[in-house]
Amino acid sequence: MNVLLTGASGFIGKRTVFKLLKNKDISLRVGVRSSLNEFPKDVIIKQIKTIDKLTDWKMLLDGADLVLHLAARVHIVNKKKHHSLKEFRKVNVEGTLNLARQAAIAGVSRFVFMSSIKVNGDSTLPNQIFSADDIPNPIDTYAISKFEAEQGLRKIEAQTGMEVVIVRPPLVYGPGVKANFAAMIKWVRRGVPLPLGAINNSRSLVALDNLIDLLVILMSHPAAAGQTFLVSDGEDISTRKLLKLTAKAMNKKILLFPVPIIILRLAGILFNKSDEIKRLCESLKIDINKTRSLLGWTPRLTFYQVLKKTVKGIK
């Protein structure tokens, strides 16, 4: 199988490349934004500096059987930067659909698209759990762009017959993770007292290797064609438990003191950290029964197994 993987330099993409290279039946070509020297010589590599409606994918698509599209303009909480819907659409909608159209013309049989659980919504209510067939409710500009890309891909699928498979992961963690998850580990390592002892929410996460295991199945499983799947580790965890397990993985003591959630929200507004406080306090639960039943897939690794490996690389 000849596979084109985009976003090969990213946190998910790089690990996926080396997973696929273990399969001798896969010939891999990748699109990267920066370095061309990260991968073995038997990988076909092309630098793709910009992904938009004009990007030429012809060289990488020549002879390709499948596209695994991981590249995206990602959701980053940074109040100093402006992330307009137009900017997200340029990469996540126009860039994705341009690649898909070229893939269909090139004879690609299946297009696997990395979307986001944020297409379902930002959070779940106490008695709610997201499923793959829910009516989408994207809130922010990133989520809207991902949903629009999904809609466009389904139209291309109907017009061309190229199979489209969509997966919506929640927060992905594992060795090498950065951003907020890495920051949380650093707080615990430094022994910083944290005002999160009263949070009893429930959130689904997915370990990087569990996600990649699923991606490999989505590449060829007959039942995956035309479907949308949710993915998680199959175990939900509260912010409080997450912090305690992180401390346990480091053999550290942690001081959590209870502060009412309403006070945390007010502090978030005061210090311009409302989005971060929202994710710490609210729930986001995912139902992966469809993924299990249709594909026979189950998460191979537990949360704590991967957490222990993750904390070792973050100082």
- DSSP states of 195-244: S-TT----EE-EEHHHHHHHHHHHTT-GGGTT-EEE---S-EE-HHHHHH
* Core vs surface per residue 100-113: b (16+ CB within 10 A) or e: bbbbbebebebbbb
Token representation of residue 82: 């402006």
In this prediction, residue 35 carries a pLDDT of 66
Residue 256 forms beta bridges with which residues? Answer: 194
Phi, psi (5° rounding) for residue 5?
Answer: -115, 125
**Which residue among the candidates 57, 130, 142, 147 is catalytic per the annotation?**
142
120 neighbors 168 (Cβ within 8 angstroms)? yes
Residue 47 forms beta bridges with which residues? Answer: 32
In this prediction, residue 47 carries a pLDDT of 86
The model's pTM is 0.93
Reference 205, options 176, 242, 175, 240; nearest CA is 242
30 neighbors 44 (Cβ within 8 angstroms)? yes
In this prediction, residue 313 carries a pLDDT of 81
Token representation of residue 183: 């920051």
**Environment class of residue 42 by beta-carbon count within 10 Å: exposed (0-12), middle (13-18) or buried (19+)?**
exposed
Each residue's pLDDT expressed in tens, for the chain with a length of 315 residues = 999 999 998 899 999 999 999 999 999 999 888 766 778 778 888 888 899 999 999 999 999 999 999 999 986 654 445 568 999 999 999 999 999 999 999 999 999 999 999 999 999 998 899 999 999 999 999 999 999 999 999 999 999 999 999 999 999 999 999 888 999 999 999 998 999 998 999 999 999 999 999 999 999 999 999 999 999 999 999 999 999 999 999 999 999 999 999 999 998 898 888 888 888 899 999 999 999 999 999 999 999 999 999 998 887
Structural domains in the chain, sorted by start: 2-173+204-234+285-301 (3.40.50.720), 179-201+237-281 (no CATH)
In this prediction, residue 274 carries a pLDDT of 85
d(CA 213, CA 16): 9
**Environment class of residue 307 by beta-carbon count within 10 Å: exposed (0-12), middle (13-18) or buried (19+)?**
buried
Strand, helix or coil for residue 287? coil
Reference 69, options 151, 8, 133; nearest CA is 8
In this prediction, residue 79 carries a pLDDT of 47
Strand, helix or coil for residue 144? helix
**Environment class of residue 282 by beta-carbon count within 10 Å: exposed (0-12), middle (13-18) or buried (19+)?**
middle
In this prediction, residue 179 carries a pLDDT of 85
Helices (H), the chain: 11-20, 58-61, 85-88, 96-106, 141-160, 179-190, 208-218, 239-250, 261-270, 274-281, 289-295, 303-312
Active site residue 142: yes
